[in-house]
Amino acid sequence: MIRFSPTGKVFRVWRRFSSLSANTMPLTETITNTFRTNELDPINHRKDHDGRFYSISQSVKKQLFSGGGLPKEYKELSETLNGLSIMVRKPAIELITYLNKTNFDAPVNRYVLYGKTGSGKSVSLAHILHYGSNAGMVLVHVPWVPNWVRFPKGCTPSVIHPNKYDHPIESVEWLRHFSTQNGPLMQKLELKTTETYAWSKREMTAVGSPLSELIDLGMNRAKHATDCVTALLCELKKAALSKRCRVLVVIDGFNSFFSPKSRVRREDKSIVLPTEFVLTDAFLSLTRNDWNNGAIVVSVDASAHPSELRESPLPRYQLGKQGFEHLDPFIPIEVPNYSEKEFHSQIDYYVERNWLQQPKARTERGRAELSFTSGNHPLSLMKLVAPY
């Protein structure tokens, strides 16, 4: 059976785990009932919940993750198992503890999640998104920055910003994602524009207009969508400064903003750098610590960079000089491989959902083989127990 290592290299595993007969070892069951928690509100998650799964309702999943935010494999698995559950892990607990104790009158704190690809950074960000939603914070969420850099659906020269490039389609999608995540809250907050925005000789958004008009304009007019995103982020920053709302910025694959290349090319075939995107300027402005009443949580990942820039998962390497200086000072939080407790909880979850049906998954010896083969790496373990 072909499997993939955490570093992406292919290796072959002759899995004795699945080929041994049930009679070759005693079936001493190790599964327990401690891998779940009844505390469904991430605001209340503490060290006591470490290594336990909590369930997310279908309505919350639809609200928060319809436009992205869950890794593809994780989302498909949750749909197959007919329910989304997230493990409460130490990085998320640490971050939630910081957020609960934050002085929101001070400049925004910036947190950087880092770790090997597949260690669970995106799922930890999903956990934090749920926290922010329950805490009544306006969510500014970018599910995966490399989608704008490596897989753009179309870039056009900006009309307003010289030598810059718009992402019309991606901007429409992002505005729809923002509206889905924050719709009810935005209606309650009744935020309004603080200045007039002129889009053309005939079209404008007057000062004092609801932000929903700005969002609707961008979703209906792709030509202006990128500039509507820029205006929206600017207005949210002002609203946070004036204590009209509290903002949580969550960006996955943040280091891609500082990637040395993209797949966008000019007419002369020269490469457009990510720093030349209007969206990059907009989100870099929002991730400066020149405002308060909010928090910024980003992740850096080797897979967000070209293959030649994946030697180290550490923030200094992934962000480069420019990115590191942009975020400095920040609080780094490592997302490691599973601890022993987390590993057993994950196996218990797979067994409970009948995703892992081998009787030996309930034994210490069987689990030891899975632990050794996967290296307790979350993504590798997911692939290892997959029935296909």
Q: What is the pLDDT along the chain (388 residues), one digit of tens a residue?
A: 333 344 443 333 333 344 333 333 333 444 446 899 999 999 999 999 999 999 999 999 999 999 999 999 999 999 999 899 999 999 999 999 999 999 999 999 999 999 999 999 999 999 999 999 999 999 999 999 999 999 899 899 998 898 999 999 999 999 999 999 999 999 999 999 999 999 888 889 999 999 999 999 999 999 999 999 999 999 999 999 999 999 999 999 999 999 999 999 988 889 999 999 999 999 999 999 999 999 999 999 999 998 888 899 999 999 999 999 999 999 999 999 999 999 999 999 999 998 988 888 889 999 999 999 999 999 999 999 987 6
Cα within 13 Å of Cα(86), Cβ side = 30
Contacts of 370 (CB under 8 A, 6+ apart): 17, 347, 361, 381, 384, 385
Please calculate the CA angle 254-278-231 and round it to the nearest 5 degrees: 100
Q: What is the reported pLDDT for 268?
A: 87
Are 191 and 211 in contact by the 8 Å Cβ rule? The answer is yes
Is the bond into 42 cis (omega within 30 degrees of 0)?
no
Q: What is the reported pLDDT for 86?
A: 97
Query: Residue 107: phi, psi to the nearest 5?
Result: -55, 150
Q: What is the reported pLDDT for 388?
A: 62
Beta strand pairing call for 84-88 and 294-299: unpaired
With b for 16 or more beta-carbon neighbours within 10 A and e for fewer, the 93-105 pattern comes to bbbbeebeebebe
Q: What is the reported pLDDT for 166?
A: 95
State the DSSP code for 269.
Answer: S
Give the DSSP letter string of 201-229.
Answer: SS-EE-TT-BHHHHHHHHHH-HHHHHHHH
Beta strand pairing call for 247-251 and 294-299: parallel
Are 132 and 250 in contact by the 8 Å Cβ rule? The answer is yes
Beta strand pairing call for 247-251 and 138-142: parallel
State the DSSP code for 31.
Answer: -
Tokens of 223: 């030509």
What is each CA distance from 90 to 46, 96, 275, 297, 335, in whole angstroms? 9, 10, 33, 16, 8
Tokens of 299: 């992740």
Are 370 and 384 in contact by the 8 Å Cβ rule? The answer is yes
